[in-house]
Structure 1
Amino acid sequence: IGAAVQDAIVRVGEISFDKKARRFTIMLNRFRWETAGEKGPYERVRSALSFEGVLGVKSRRVRADIDEALASLLSIGFIPEEEPPGGVVRLLLAGGGEIAVDVECLDVVLIDMGPTWSTPRRPDHEQSG
């Protein structure tokens, strides 16, 4: 899932944590790495990334006060607790932002929500330095 959502564009106002349901959800526009050739065509798709069994969420350097702020999701990692199956899911954002999702176990779903659309560029981390 981490590879599938790398370089997804996230609107900060579309990141939510439902404490009662213990669900953390991010709506995103993800680059479709699974269909991208070296020279295109390139596509993005509207997707939902959802984590269940969430115990808590912390963020750092994320502008939660500006719903329209955009962020690029660089990577997702998992840091297991000493006692499985719990741990912390770390979502790293461009510009140094980070979201830490404390989970009782790793229960994550990625769902594409609609049709794809073309995009002119493939994300390239080599060019950005």
Structure 2
Amino acid sequence: MFRRTFWFTTGVAAGVWATTKVNRKLKQLTPESLAATAANKAIEAGHRLKDRAVEFALDVRDNMNRREAELGDALGLNAAVEPELPGPRRYTAIENRNSPKHVETTTYSYNRNEDH
């Protein structure tokens, strides 16, 4: 009698386990579940791609700055330069029309519509 009860219980447990497994798999294969899974994977892929793009941009910026520094050193642009004093200021002279040196000059019209 004990053997029959053991095998009956084992059979019931195996049947429950198999039914549960099959039902889970069937639920995973429904169109809604497949669409949700695809959407989740697409979102994860987008996040990974964005992270890699940000890392790439930072690497490019670091390498660009390093290369600019190398070129600046090679061309002597990064060398310490002694500050130069500014040159003397030049003031523009104000024209004095009452001055005897002032000579009236003839002005010409540069109108294109006039006959020349």
TM-score (norm 1): 0.13
| Larger proportion of strand | 1
| Larger proportion of helix | 2
TM-score (norm 2): 0.14
